[in-house]
Amino acid sequence: MSEEGQARVLDLRSIDKFRGSLVEFGDTVKVALIEADSEIERAIVWLERDRIQHWRRQIQKRQEMVTRAKSALYRKQMQGNDKDGRPSVVDEKVELARAVRHLKSAEERLEHTKRWRNRLEREYALYKGHVQPVSAMAERNVPMAVALLGKILEHLEAYASGKSGAEDELNRLLDEDEARSMSRGTGEEMPEAAEEDS
């Protein structure tokens, strides 16, 4: 305030510029949250529809390979040869062991993929809970602040141009905003202020 009891309004463009930056900030936060949600959901879908299905198909294929290797071993064991009547089954046993190893590997990978999918879903739920206040701020608080700054700017412009009643209206707006801030701090609602905002 100056000595005569009047405020010196020097640069209203700074308030308008800040208001524009606040709008941009709110939009940036909303876009970032939407993109983060989309990426996480895409990863969960990829694990569920691509990787888990892939390993299920691999298990089926590898079970068939084990069955074929067992059949080959059995057939070879049933054959006889002229020298000792017992054919060598070393190659068939090696092939069966390899098929069993591959099957076990696919089963383990399926279990790992399911665990990661479940863990990602749990972490995503926690993340959603943690970013909820940020989302609420971008959706509600920023637009309210932008609207309030717009009203204050209008009244400051009127005050700077010397229009009557502008100072009283400006003080009323600032008092309402301070009362709203205090009620948020105590957790109490102020119906009068809420009604005027709507």
How confident is residue 193, by pLDDT bands cut at 50, 70 and 90? very low
**Which structural domain, as residue segments, surrounds residue 142?**
12-163
User: Helix or strand or coil: residue 3?
Assistant: coil
Q: Within a domain: residue 64?
A: yes
The answer to whether residues 138 and 29 touch, using CB atoms and an 8 Å cutoff, is: yes
Ramachandran area for residue 187 (φ above 0: left; ψ -120 to 50: alpha; else beta): left
1-8, long-range: CB within 8 Å, 24+ apart, which pairs? 6/167, 7/159
Per-residue pLDDT of 132-180, as tens digits, reads: 999 999 999 999 999 999 988 888 888 777 765 656 666 777 777 777 7
| Phi, psi for residue 84 in degrees, rounded to 5 | -120, 0
Q: Within a domain: residue 175?
A: no
Residue percentage of the chain with pLDDT more than 70: 77
Q: Within a domain: residue 152?
A: yes
Q: What is the mean pLDDT of residues 104-110?
A: 97
Total count of domains within the chain: 1
Q: Within a domain: residue 178?
A: no
How far separated are the first and last CA of the chain, in Å rounded?
32
The answer to whether residues 33 and 131 touch, using CB atoms and an 8 Å cutoff, is: yes
Judged against a pLDDT cut of 90, whether residue 130 lies above it is answered with: yes
* Token digits of residue 153: 């700017």
Per-residue pLDDT of 34-57, as tens digits, reads: 999 999 999 999 999 999 999 999
* Token digits of residue 183: 């009620």
Q: What is the mean pLDDT of residues 101-106?
A: 97
Q: Which residue has the tokens 């609602």?
A: 189
Angstrom distances, CA of residue 87 to CA of 73, 74, 76, 81:
11, 11, 7, 6
Q: Within a domain: residue 180?
A: no
